[in-house]
A and B are shown apart, each in its own frame.
Chain A
Amino acid sequence: MGYAIVQVLNALSFSALLLLTALGLSVVLSLMNFINLAHGSFYLLGSYIAVFWFASGAPWWLAFPVAFLATALAGALLERFPFRGFYARTHLMQVLLTYGLSVVFADLMRWGFGAQILSPELPEPLQGVVFLLDMPFPVYRLFLIGVGFFLAGILWVLLDRTLWGAVVRASVADRGMVETLGIDTRRVLSAVLVLSAGLGGVSGALGAGMLAAYPGLDEEVLILALVTVVVGGLGTFRGTVLSALVVGFALTFSKVWFPEFANVVAFSAMAVLLLLRPAGLVAPRLRQV
């Protein structure tokens, strides 16, 4: 029983991480129709920032806002050039651009942070384990579950319950009409991209305590985030939440039950799911972000 609870919590912590990363990718894809394959780079940059911040002796909890702000700044610069020029272009052109950039960023980060695996020295309050029915479970993963779902909740409120969110949703529906109301939609779209980059960075900072930071992690995370977005159904917030849970549990439990074939089992299950529901778990409907 204790073992099952620990595995469920493992799956939940992985799901929380997938959810945050995938939401960043998903808002940009669904709201701006822009495929950003450099999203994994924001994640990995966030992870490295957390590793070095935790080691620096500064207040540990600041690592997350710092990672958010640093990657948001990187996103703001990239948005000005070259992303902005590609919003109206085909997905293939966007893929070529952002994949190429992700390769450049991977090399830059290898050059800057080295090729070894860096595991962060966790801050004291997050170290150690708690015992659940005599089974140990890392405190850090409980923190990850809590913060991950909390941030996802904030994003949902921002997009679905605020006037700014209404502006974003309206810009997706009819950009020209929003402009006739005196709203500069280019700035709105810039803000969405900056928010997405920041989410990628904060996901990375949170994930560093679980997955560490190393060259190549950017792509691993990107693939999982893409799978999450596609399985969930493009452009649906609920779908992305559901799908992060499905992917998180599938990967975790296939590692428990079929350690040698974990990825085969998990990805085959997702392929079957997509064959059964090609539009994703939650097909886009009205009023979903």
Chain B
Amino acid sequence: MSAAPDPAGEPHLSLSGVSAHYGAVEVLRDISLRIAPREAVAVLGRNGVGKTTLVNALFNLGPQVSGAIRLMGQEVTGWPTHRIARLGAALVPQGRGVFPNLTVAENLQLASFRNRPGTWTLECVFDTFPGLAERRASFSSSLSGGERQLLAIGRALLTQARLLVLDEPSEGLAPLMAEEIIVEQVGRLAKEGMTVLLVEQNVPLALRLCPRAVVLGAHEIAFDGPSGDILANPALLRRHLGV
């Protein structure tokens, strides 16, 4: 697989003038963003600026959305979630979203229930995350936080997605585990050509994975550019990231 981002190609995801509301509360205002194939982009910002709302708007999981969201070249605004997912976007949600009353294997098989077979198979996922293979018959409620995170990522891969959206994957993980999962495992997927949208509180971690970062501040985009420029911008760091 080719690993270089392709900024000239049709973006995998593009938002133009997207606003999101929960009832009368406006959470996001006029967001515009393009993510090219094979790019890895971090979305940063303080608590409550709407990072998770951005994810939920993308998958049509709750907020009322205006503006246009295009995924893989198709306008998907207002589509039911399962049709958005079938276009090739997968979500590793905040809190992992594994199904506690299902076994590890069942959690993974669910992802291939409605998706055509592709590069990723159950055995591929077990090869990639050997820890999961040992626990395949266990209920996912018995997994550790790190194992749950790998399970959520493995499940996302089995949907044969081309765009992987991760919402706060480091939350609740020990620093070394977060490092291993996000920088090593997700980093490897990104190198193999997966487009990654990473929503994170842990700024240094996110910037090590993603060459480009978007900073949300007060419901709007405050910065969008190379990760290196953020670290060189103490005012931005202090104001929007609290670092």
Contacts and interface: CB of A to CB of B under 8 A. Distances in A.
B101 to A, nearest CB: 5
Contact of B100 (A173, A184, A288): A173
Interface stretch (A66-74, A164-172, A197-205, A274-282): A164-172
Nearest to A288: B101
Interface string A178-212: 11111111100000000000000000000000000
A174 B140 CA distance: 14
Contact of A163 (B90, B97, B110, B155): B110
A contact patch SS: helix
Given A163-B110, A163-B113, A185 B82 contact: yes
Contact of B110 (A170, A176, A184): A170
Given A179-B80, A181-B111, A169 B141 contact: no
A177 B99 contact: yes
What's the interface size class on A, roughly?
20 to 34
A43 B81 CA distance: 36
Contacts of A170: 99, 101-102, 106-107, 110
A180 B90 CA distance: 7
B100 A180 contact: no
A203 to B, nearest CB: 27
Given A173-B101, A180-B91, A166 B81 contact: no
Interface string B132-163: 00000001010000000000000100010000
B114 interface: yes
Nearest to B152: A177
A156 to B, nearest CB: 15
Contacts of B59: 176, 179-180
A80 interface: no
B80 A184 contact: yes
Contacts of A185: 82
Interface residues of B, number: 28
Contacts of B115: 181-182
Residue among A173, A183, A287 with the highest chain B CB neighbour number at 10 A = A183
B93 interface: yes
B3 interface: no
A183 B110 contact: yes
B82 A184 contact: yes
A163 B100 CA distance: 15
B109 A180 contact: no
A179 B80 CA distance: 8
A262 to B, nearest CB: 39
B86 interface: yes
B222 interface: no
Contact of B159 (A182, A186, A288): A182
A4 interface: no
B119 to A, nearest CB: 16
B100 A178 contact: no
Contacts of B159: 181-182
A179 B101 contact: no
B88 to A, nearest CB: 10
A117 to B, nearest CB: 44
A259 B53 CA distance: 63
A172 B99 CA distance: 9
B231 interface: no
Given A166-B110, A176-B61, A176-B81, A181 B155 contact: yes
A169 B93 CA distance: 19
A169 B107 CA distance: 11
B85 A166 contact: no
26 contacts: A163-B106, A163-B109, A163-B110, A163-B113, A174-B97, A176-B61, A176-B62, A176-B81, A177-B91, A179-B81, A180-B81, A180-B97, A181-B82, A181-B90, A181-B111, A181-B155, A181-B159, A182-B111, A182-B113, A182-B114, A182-B115, A183-B113, A184-B80, A186-B80, A286-B101, A287-B101
Interface of A: 163, 166-167, 169-170, 172-174, 176-186, 286-288
Given A177-B91, A183-B110, A287-B139, 17 more contacts: A166-B106, A169-B99, A173-B101, A173-B102, A177-B93, A179-B85, A180-B59, A180-B82, A180-B91, A181-B85, A181-B159, A182-B82, A182-B85, A182-B86, A286-B101, A287-B101, A288-B101
